[in-house]
Amino acid sequence: MNDMTPVPVASARAIGCLDAPVRKERGQHAVFCGLTGIIWMHRKIQDAFFLVVGSRTCAHLIQSAAGVMIFAEPRFATAIIDERDLAGLADVHDELDRVVAKLLARRPDIKLLFLVGSCPSEVIKLDLSKAASRLDRQFFPNVRVLSYSGSGIETTFTQGEDAALAALVPALPAEPTDAVPSLMIVGALADVVEDQFVRLFAEMGISNVKALPPRRSTELPDIGPNTRYLLAQPFLADTAKALEARGAQRITAPFPLGVQGTTEWLRAGAQSFGADPARFEAVTAAPAARARQAVSRYLPHLEGKRVMFFPDSQLEVPLARFLANELSMQLEEVATPYLHRAHLSADLALLPAGTALSEGPDVDLQLDRCRESRPDLVVCGLGLANPLEAENITTKWSIELVFTPIQGFEQAGDLAELFARPFGRQSRLEV
Amino acid sequence: MQLTLWTYEGPPHVGAMRIATAMEGVHYVLHAPQGDTYADLLFTMIERRNKRTPVTYTTFQARDLGGDTAELFKNACQQAYERFKPEAMLVGASCTAELIQDNPGGLAAALQLPLPVIPLELPAYQKKENWGAAETFYHLVRALTGSQAATFQRGTPESEGRRARCNVLGPTALGFRHRDDIAEVTRLLGMIGVDINVTAPMGARPADIARIPQADFNICLYPETADTTTRWLERTFRQPVVKTVPIGVGATRDFIREVAVLAGLDPEATLSRIEAEVGSRLPWYSRSVDSTYLTGKRVFIFGDATHAIAAARVASKELGFEVVGLGTYSREFARDVRAAAALYGLEALITDDYLEVEEAIGAVQPELVLGTQMERNIAKKLGLACAVISAPVHVQDFPARTSPQMGFEGANVIFDTWVHPLMMGLEEHLLGMFRGDFEFKDDVAASHLGHGHGSHKAAARDEPIMVSEQPSVAALSDAAGHAAGQISLVWTQDAEKELKKIPFFVRGKARRNTERFATERGVTPITVETLYDAKAHFGR
């Protein structure tokens, strides 16, 4: 490691949790399904529409998932399967064609339509990829029609984004064979964060940077063997596979959360493109220092506090790494719905050795452990937060970590603040 | 297959959750894939409940489908019993589990757990949330009281020398103001001189449900949830039912009389005694001259059947509004809503399609919308005043203060919340008189509503063709309808200018009336004369 590494790496910690055992449990999982990803994806790609083919439950889930109803005009809808559809499968495709035609006639601004599979559509084996290619033939080039599954039997929460992006990859144009090497940032980020990263890479001399997903479906990035990609989100297993099938190469890096993660993520990109190390330092020194200062403001509130993660977004491991290394918090348990060892290798290596890791735990058993150890802070979903608060256990809603710009230098302080806020609030209240 | 942007009701198993969560000592084991646990947050976040919902989800995954999902369900039941030690258990399937046909009822029965286990069959592809709640409550009551039916004897208040007692049935978790309605109705019943035997499902335990037959009569407070149950109890335990829902002053008076009669009390004496003590301020507020400006305000009403029907009566008879639209998403009660609509010379709108409601509201251009959170959104888009009267609920529908809809206090709350969004009397006159004032912007809302309520972008609804920056499904369909029907109508410049002098909140109606007048008479182009001819023809 060179001298830019912000945290000194002791030899005992050099491998961190790279090979650490992971607790696995079967039982009730209190997590969202992949349909929930539509809530941010439909805002990220501004000319895309997400049509869930599912039940009333699916429609109800999406409108409830953000905790309250969202009242902007949605670019998503549900084609609710009813009894008549279940009676004969041949009918369902006709019905779907009718619904899609009606939808597209009313929304001529839509250029990309995702048919999104759900638990019921999977169980009745409704072939949405067939439907999508049929509809794509009918509506292309005005509208491109793709499909993916956001079903709860196959995907957890953020895996919905993974499935959507993986479905988008085959539609990306091929780069010319003599294309100059380009960098692709993969995973939905807040626009402001994406722009910051592009700016930083440009200052390092890497100007050929593209993003997946793009903000408009008409701006799909091209791809090929000269594309190297950096994952900006830890939940993109299938997308990575699809990108590699198109020849792109992954740059291994920790995820850009906190000063350490952001520095190492940017460095991995810079090194891959042979950027001058001195230039890298010159470009990152000021924002990294600013970020360190912003993070350090919350150190007194968080230092030494014990934190437990309930599974939610797969962001848990890099977040835990940030809290442990930059805010000196103690990790009581880090639970994640799915632990992708390869994509998380750099983060796992930086995690304190001996951290209790668990994958998809049984919510009742984890609650038992939580009540037993009474951590100072529990990061959990909305179904558990108020009940735990009522037991005098301080919580941070995990969904906010998905809906807030938290990546990059300029957001590192905001990320720390999200964890400090519950304590700050407690200290204000005298009721 | 139905294209749905927003739904008024969740699936029927969410209705079952509303019953289980409202009660104590009941646990619901739901065969469902992971993801269906989202429903927990409706209760913990929207209603701010401080306990987990009493629901165990099997959360099966794709890899379980090839294996033994039935075994998964049995384990979940056994573990839920051991962990939560409920006094009664509900078992059922969500939409996906319904398709894999594991028969939760049979599986749970095979476990022979030492407690009442009530199987629920809630067809998710036909039925919805309120039906699910009603069905769950009915099966629960039936299971826990049915064994008494053959032998049950109940004395009268006179023979037993006691006050009359009743059950208050229907309040659930996640209900619109149920918590506060129960407080108000409990107070009212106390004043009438009737004891409450059981309030259920809210706050009741299975043992309380078993005591339901001991009451002399039932109050069906929320027919959406309790109608099926109270009908069955009437047949089985000969318990008469109070069917008047006490929303509004008139209905509260009717309710008191109806209860008094069943309790063997003098209805009129009881009513005057209570009104002398705690009557509503609504009658005087409505008669005070300040309220003159409320006269004939055009109001569109949409909600569940109970609240919509009640709102129409209050709006029309107690506030002097004109009801110009009445509808419901509760198909089970469509007949009642149709009958109510007929009282106001209207055809009821029975639909669960949000786009249809939006279209209906756009077409009648009301001055006030009384609806659900969905209609609040529609009203916001159209620049109309709105108050919420019914579920589906939002975190704002669980105010910290006690804010009932029922009883005399409920009538006070209704007066305030429905009148508040409207333009106040004098302000409305000034806007009408001095259209040219440079500070009177078209999209300005009543000044007492502050900043957030202003700048209704879409207030320009009266423009011939409206396509907002982000064309919505509804806006576009509306625009298409507009274009098809009215393309031939031409306004002279002077007439357009004159139209602009009419306050925006009635301008849409003026344009529509004028165009209808012109179309009917073949007048073209529309001049200032036509505008005033139409005004004279239609009145206000």
A243 touches A226 (CB < 8 A): no
Q: Minimal Cα–Cα distance from A222 to chain B, Å?
A: 28
What is each CA distance from A279 to A106, A200, A409, in whole angstroms?
Answer: 51, 11, 17
Residue type present at position A279: R
Strand order through the sheet with B88-93: B55-57, B26-31, B88-93, B117-119
Here the tokens at position A192 are 């402001």
Do the Cβ atoms of B3 and A79 come within 8 Å? yes
Give residue-wise pLDDT tens across range A379-391: 999 889 999 999 9
B292: how many CB neighbours lie within 10 A of its CB?
10
Nearest residue to A28 via CA among A161, A152, A158:
A152
Residue A424 to residue A382: CA distance in whole angstroms = 20
List A residues 195-214 in contact with B (Cβ-Cβ < 8 A). Answer: none
Percent of chain B with pLDDT over 90: 70
Nearest CA in chain A to B53: A383
Contacts A124 to B, Cβ<8 Å = 99
pLDDT grade for B98, boundaries at 50, 70 and 90: very high
Residue B365 to residue B379: CA distance in whole angstroms = 10
A295 touches A258 (CB < 8 A): yes
For the segment A313-328, the average pLDDT, to the nearest whole number, is 98
Whether the per-residue pLDDT at B40 is higher than 70: the answer is yes
Confidence at residue A377, expressed as pLDDT on a 0 to 100 scale? 98
pLDDT grade for B486, boundaries at 50, 70 and 90: very low
Residue B424 gets which letter from DSSP?
A: P
Give which of B40, B59, B83 to mutate to test A binding, by max A Cβ within 10 Å. B59
Name the residue facing B95 among A53, A57, A92 (closest C-beta): A57
Q: Minimal Cα–Cα distance from A181 to chain B, Å?
A: 37
Nearest residue to A292 via CA among A4, A1, A2:
A4
Give which of B27, B41, B51, B329 to mutate to test A binding, by max A Cβ within 10 Å. B41
Contacts B395 to A, Cβ<8 Å = 67-68
| A381 interfaces chain B, CB cutoff of 8 Å | yes
pLDDT grade for B480, boundaries at 50, 70 and 90: very low
Nearest residue to A53 via CA among A149, A161, A178:
A149
| A372 interfaces chain B, CB cutoff of 8 Å | no
For the segment B146-153, the average pLDDT, to the nearest whole number, is 89
Q: Minimal Cα–Cα distance from A124 to chain B, Å?
A: 8
Long-range contacts of B460-469 (CB under 8 A, 24+ apart): B461/B362, B461/B365, B461/B382, B461/B383, B461/B508, B462/B365, B462/B499, B462/B504, B462/B507, B462/B508, B462/B510, B462/B511, B462/B512, B464/B489
Lowest average pLDDT, out of A78-92, A367-381, B462-476, goes to B462-476
What is each CA distance from A301 to A178, A418, A423, in whole angstroms?
Answer: 53, 12, 7
Confidence at residue B455, expressed as pLDDT on a 0 to 100 scale? 37
What DSSP string runs through A188-231? ---HHHHHHHHHHHHHTT---EEEES-SSGGGPPPBSTTEEEEE
Residue A183 to residue A168: CA distance in whole angstroms = 18
Do the Cβ atoms of B95 and A73 come within 8 Å? no
Residue B324 to residue B341: CA distance in whole angstroms = 9
For the segment B198-216, the average pLDDT, to the nearest whole number, is 98
Q: Could you tell me which residues come within 8 angstroms of residue B430 by beta carbon, excluding any fewer than 6 positions away? A: none
Give residue-wise pLDDT tens across range A261-288: 999 999 999 999 999 999 999 999 999 9
Give residue-wise pLDDT tens across range B359-396: 999 999 899 999 998 899 899 888 899 999 999 988 88
Whether the per-residue pLDDT at B126 is higher than 80: the answer is yes
For the segment B102-116, the average pLDDT, to the nearest whole number, is 96
Whether the per-residue pLDDT at B504 is higher than 80: the answer is no
Whether the per-residue pLDDT at A230 is higher than 90: the answer is yes
Q: Could you tell me which residues come within 8 angstroms of residue B441 by beta carbon, excluding any fewer than 6 positions away? A: none
ipTM of the complex: 0.92
Residue B516 to residue A81: CA distance in whole angstroms = 40
Where b means 16+ CB within 10 Å and e means fewer, B492-526 reads beebeebbeebbbbbbbbbbbbbbebbeeeebeeb
Containing B369, the helix (H) or strand (E) segment is strand B368-371
Confidence at residue B435, expressed as pLDDT on a 0 to 100 scale? 61
Nearest residue to B224 via CA among B290, B178, B158, B271:
B178
Confidence at residue A15, expressed as pLDDT on a 0 to 100 scale? 81
Residue A175 to residue A193: CA distance in whole angstroms = 26
Contacts A390 to B, Cβ<8 Å = 50-51
Residue B224 to residue B221: CA distance in whole angstroms = 9
For the segment B499-514, the average pLDDT, to the nearest whole number, is 80
Greater model confidence, B341 or B456: B341
Do the Cβ atoms of B100 and A83 come within 8 Å? no
Give residue-wise pLDDT tens across range B255-297: 999 999 999 999 999 999 999 999 999 999 999 988 988 999 9
For the segment B303-329, the average pLDDT, to the nearest whole number, is 98
Give residue-wise pLDDT tens across range B396-409: 899 999 999 999 99
Residue with tokens 């937060």: A385
Mean pLDDT over the full length of chain A = 92
Residue B320's region, left for phi above 0, alpha for psi from -120 to 50, else beta, is left
Contacts A34 to B, Cβ<8 Å = 35
A155 touches A187 (CB < 8 A): no
pLDDT grade for B425, boundaries at 50, 70 and 90: low
Containing B200, the helix (H) or strand (E) segment is strand B195-200
- Among A219-233, B65-79, B150-164, B478-492, top mean pLDDT goes to A219-233
Confidence at residue B74, expressed as pLDDT on a 0 to 100 scale? 96
Here the tokens at position A281 are 């330092």
Residue type present at position A202: A
SS3 string, B428-458, reads HHHHHHCCCCCCCCCCCCCHHHCCCCCCCHH
What DSSP string runs through B464-512? SS---SS--HHHHHHHHHHHHHHTT--B-HHHHHHHHTS-HHHHHHHHH
Return the sign of the alpha-carbon dihedral for residues A302, A307, A311, A316: positive
Residue B427 exposed, middle or buried by CB count within 10 Å (0-12, 13-18, 19+): middle
Q: Could you tell me which residues come within 8 angstroms of residue B521 by beta carbon, excluding any fewer than 6 positions away? A: none
Whether the per-residue pLDDT at B104 is higher than 90: the answer is yes
Query: Which residues of A102-257 form beta strands (DSSP E)?
Result: 112-117, 144-149, 182-186, 209-212, 227-231, 249-250
Nearest residue to A335 via CA among A354, A355, A350, A351:
A355
Strand order through the sheet with A227-231: A209-212, A182-186, A227-231, A249-250
Do the Cβ atoms of A382 and B40 come within 8 Å? yes
pTM of the model: 0.89
Do the Cβ atoms of A103 and B83 come within 8 Å? no
Whether the per-residue pLDDT at B91 is higher than 90: the answer is yes
Residue B44 to residue B42: CA distance in whole angstroms = 6
Confidence at residue A70, expressed as pLDDT on a 0 to 100 scale? 52
Percent of chain A with pLDDT over 90: 84
Lowest average pLDDT, out of A11-20, A234-243, B65-74, goes to A11-20
Mean pLDDT over the full length of chain B = 88
Confidence at residue A65, expressed as pLDDT on a 0 to 100 scale? 75
pLDDT grade for A90, boundaries at 50, 70 and 90: low
Q: Minimal Cα–Cα distance from A296 to chain B, Å?
A: 32
Do the Cβ atoms of A57 and B7 come within 8 Å? no
In total, chain B counts a number of residues equal to: 540
A1: how many CB neighbours lie within 10 A of its CB?
9
Confidence at residue B341, expressed as pLDDT on a 0 to 100 scale? 98
B461 touches B362 (CB < 8 A): yes
For the segment A218-244, the average pLDDT, to the nearest whole number, is 97
Catalytic residue, chosen from B68, B290, B443, B494, is B290
Residue A340, φ and ψ in degrees, nearest 5? -95, 95
Confidence at residue A304, expressed as pLDDT on a 0 to 100 scale? 97
For the segment B161-170, the average pLDDT, to the nearest whole number, is 97
Here the tokens at position A302 are 């968080």
Q: Could you tell me which residues come within 8 angstroms of residue A219 by beta carbon, excluding any fewer than 6 positions away? A: none
pLDDT grade for A176, boundaries at 50, 70 and 90: very high
Any catalytic annotation for residue B290? yes
Lowest average pLDDT, out of B235-244, B337-346, B361-370, B528-537, goes to B528-537
Confidence at residue B489, expressed as pLDDT on a 0 to 100 scale? 81
Greater model confidence, B463 or A144: A144
Residue B86 to residue B77: CA distance in whole angstroms = 11
